[in-house]
């Protein structure tokens, strides 16, 4: 997997965050807003940077085959560019001129949901246009994916295409303007996790007035109150219709969905030139007698349909309601509601001591979820990402019962509980890399028994960590958190992980995160912990650079403090999701200063 880093990492958390806002640091391409499923579900499922054009060589425009890392491609009026005028990540990219074509000469068998391609104008050339085409019959016939793209920037920009085709597929990039202007292509990315079918697209019903009334749509009967089905050019929609809501309108299911809901996504955008609006998603498990808000209030600020994602994770009968909350006359469009069936039970952490406050990515113990695979140990739980051989996050509860006098076991080893077909990181995998085997759940947090301490040395609990990070402020924060337990009568719920990339170790198998982050919710010792989280609860959150040259061994961990919201913003995860949203909104926005 080829990752991209475009950030000079600062030393303080505040400086980091404001720099981050103006930079592009994708752990995978085509990042979206924190509420987008691209940032949560799709990024955590099967994604691969599939071709970066680094392995092949071709210096002439004449038609010829080139063997790249993914397989053989034909380059027609195209070459592999290495000059300073070629826009590229790494040392090479494909350069196409005239009506050139770049074609896969082989099939991949596991389909494609979305495809992203980096593109830019070569040197000082003018704009170019191009298209992505695909074939499901080994090149006998071709279908265009998405619309024609115009390349107008000298900086590599991501073009994204929704394909949603299962089975055998190959792709072709076609330059369509026929001009001598040259265009570079790099980092061809295929997401092969086919999203679930849209539950409701608002195409089959009809309602032209705002007066409250029931409408029969494809999924069933919905009540639209101060809402209608919009068909105007100012209605933002996929297809010919979308729901349009004004004032404090609602769109409500009048029926139950029987098999629960995991993640729900909804497309939303501003109508016409109207101003921003806010809205919420609510659900009912008793056929509409009572309602619970899912996630946080969403602000609609774009005239382009954008995805909002909600981790619901409720089994059994369920129905949903969209509520516009600002009360203004500004109108908002909703389209393409997608509901994943609930797939939890005992395998999503619902009964784990360590996930009392929530499962940040709705991780599931199902090998289909190769990049969001739930793993549970008695000592900690995690979401594991087999595509980069890193944990997405590790979570553990820390109180006095976990602490004792057991010495450090140092028995680093591969985790045999991973699926056999997945790559298993070994104890020696980081050797010679310059990175420590950095514990997420620390060894010193599990000293009550040899078994508990030994469990922390599984390599699934490790990230490649810069020594100045791991042995300096990171270790000092770990010690401070333990001191709250041993000296102040506290118990903690802790989440930890990494984000971004500085490259890989272990022959490309293991991603090196650009940053490490940690969240600790601090409570007085007691019972019924979830109910004791209030707006005054202390929450400590940090983001630390993992670049050894950018962090000092003697740095104060307190200088890296940020809000939980800021970690959610860079990861796309939903922390503390079991806590009421009114409390979350307060404690997740606050930066600890104690």
Q: Provide the greatest CA pair distance for the chain.
A: 74
Beta carbons of 578 and 495 less than 8 angstroms apart:
no
Q: What are phi and psi of 14, to 5 degrees?
A: -65, -45
CA–CA separation, 538 and 394 (whole Å): 20
Is residue 436 a contact partner of residue 470, using CB atoms and an 8 Å limit?
A: yes
Q: What tokens does 3 get? A: 């990752």
Q: Which residues of 80-119 are buried (b: 16+ CB within 10 A; e: fewer)?
A: bbeeeebbbbeebbbbbbbebbbbbeeebeebbbbbbbbb
Tell me the DSSP string of 9-54: --SSHHHHHHHHTTSB--SSSS---TTSTTTTHHHHSSEEEEE-S-
Q: Active-site residue among 119, 268, 354, 439?
A: 439
Residue 579 neighbours by CB under 8 Å, 6+ apart: 357, 358, 530, 533, 587
Q: What angle do CA 295, 299, 305 make, to 5 degrees?
A: 100
Q: How far is CA 144 from CA 132, 163, 165, 353, in A?
A: 6, 9, 12, 50
Beta bridge partners of 61: none
Beta bridge partners of 375: 382
- Taking the C-alpha atoms of residue 321 and residue 517, their distance in angstroms, rounded to an integer, is 35
Closest C-alpha to 70, from 34, 102, 42, 33: 102
Q: Give 215-251 as a DSSP string.
A: EE-SSSEEEEEEEEEE-STTS--SSS-EEEEEEEEEE
Establish whether 42 is a catalytic residue. no
CA 364 – CA 344 distance, rounded (Å): 7
Cα–Cα distance, 551 to 467 (Å, whole number) = 9
Contact between 502 and 422 under an 8 Å Cβ cutoff? The reply is no
Task: Map tokens 């028994």 to a residue.
Answer: 449
Contact between residue 179 and residue 128 where contact means Cβ atoms under 8 Å apart:
yes
- The tokens of 102 are what? 């770049």
Residue with tokens 């085509």: 30
Tokens describing residue 166? 């299962």
The token pair at 492 is: 């903690």
DSSP assigned state of 301 = -
Locate tokens 């590790």: which residue? 394
Q: Which has the closest alpha carbon to 169: 114, 251, 241? A: 114
The distance of Cα 135 from the centroid of its chain, to the nearest Å, equals 28
Q: Which runs of consecutive H residues, i.e. helices, occur in 328-472?
A: 450-455, 467-470
Determine whether 11 is exposed, middle or buried from the number of CB atoms within 10 Å of its CB (0-12, 13-18, 19+): middle
Active-site residues, by number, are: 439
């Amino acid at each position: 997997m080829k990752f991209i880093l475009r950030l000079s990492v600062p030393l303080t958390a505040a400086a980091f965050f404001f720099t981050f806002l103006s930079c592009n640091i994708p752990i995978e391409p085509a990042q979206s807003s924190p509420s987008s499923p691209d940032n949560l579900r799709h990024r955590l499922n099967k994604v691969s940077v599939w071709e970066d054009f680094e392995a092949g060589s071709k210096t002439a425009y004449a038609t010829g085959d080139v063997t790249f890392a993914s397989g053989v491609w034909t380059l027609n009026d195209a070459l592999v560019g290495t000059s300073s005028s070629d826009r590229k990540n790494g040392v090479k990219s494909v350069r196409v001129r005239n009506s050139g074509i770049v074609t896969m000469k082989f099939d991949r068998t596991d389909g494609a949901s979305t495809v992203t391609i980096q593109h830019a104008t070569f040197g000082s050339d003018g704009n170019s246009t191009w298209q992505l085409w695909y074939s499901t019959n080994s090149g006998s016939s071709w279908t265009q994916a998405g619309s024609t793209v115009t390349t107008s920037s000298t900086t590599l920009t991501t073009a994204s295409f929704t394909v949603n085709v299962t089975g055998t597929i190959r792709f072709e990039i076609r330059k369509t303007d026929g001009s001598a202007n040259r265009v570079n292509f790099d980092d061809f990315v295929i997401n092969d996790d086919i999203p679930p079918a849209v539950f409701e697209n608002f195409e089959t019903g009809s309602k032209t007035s705002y007066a409250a009334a029931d409408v029969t749509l494809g999924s069933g009967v919905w009540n639209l109150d101060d809402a209608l089905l919009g068909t105007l050019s100012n209605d933002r929609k996929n297809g010919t219709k979308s729901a349009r809501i004004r004032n404090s309108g609602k769109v409500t299911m009048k029926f139950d969905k029987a098999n629960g809901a995991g993640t729900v996504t909804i497309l939303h955008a501003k109508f016409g030139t109207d101003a921003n609006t806010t809205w919420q998603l609510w659900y009912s498990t008793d056929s509409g007698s009572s309602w619970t808000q899912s996630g946080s209030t969403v602000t609609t600020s774009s005239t382009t349909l954008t995805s909002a994602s909600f981790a619901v994770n409720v089994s059994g009968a369920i129905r949903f309601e969209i509520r516009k909350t600002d009360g203004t006359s500004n109108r908002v469009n909703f389209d393409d509601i997608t509901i994943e069936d609930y797939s939890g039970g005992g395998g999503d952490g619902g009964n784990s001591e360590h996930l009392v406050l929530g499962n940040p990515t709705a991780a599931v113990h199902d090998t289909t979820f190769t990049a969001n695979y739930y793993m549970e140990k008695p000592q900690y739980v995690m979401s594991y990402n087999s595509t980069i051989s890193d944990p997405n996050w590790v979570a553990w509860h820390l109180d006095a019962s976990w602490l004792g006098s057991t010495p450090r076991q140092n028995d680093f080893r591969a985790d045999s509980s991973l699926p056999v077909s997945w790559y298993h990181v070994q104890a020696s995998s980081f050797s010679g890399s310059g990175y420590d085997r950095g514990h997420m759940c620390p060894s010193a947090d599990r000293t009550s028994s040899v078994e508990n301490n030994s469990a922390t040395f599984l390599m699934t609990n490790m990230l490649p960590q810069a020594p100045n990070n791991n042995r300096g402020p990171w270790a000092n924060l770990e010690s401070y958190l333990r001191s709250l337990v041993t000296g102040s009568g506290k118990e903690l719920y802790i989440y930890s992980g990494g984000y971004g990339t500085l490259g890989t170790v272990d022959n490309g198998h293991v991603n090196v995160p650009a940053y490490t982050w940690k969240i600790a919710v601090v409570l007085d010792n007691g019972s019924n912990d979830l109910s004791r989280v209030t707006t005054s609860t202390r929450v400590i959150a940090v983001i630390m650079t993992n670049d050894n040259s950018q962090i000092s061994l003697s740095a104060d961990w307190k200088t890296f403090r940020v809000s939980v919201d800021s970690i959610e913003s860079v990861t796309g995860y939903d922390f503390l999701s079991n806590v009421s949203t009114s409390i979350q909104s307060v404690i997740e926005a606050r930066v600890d200063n104690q």
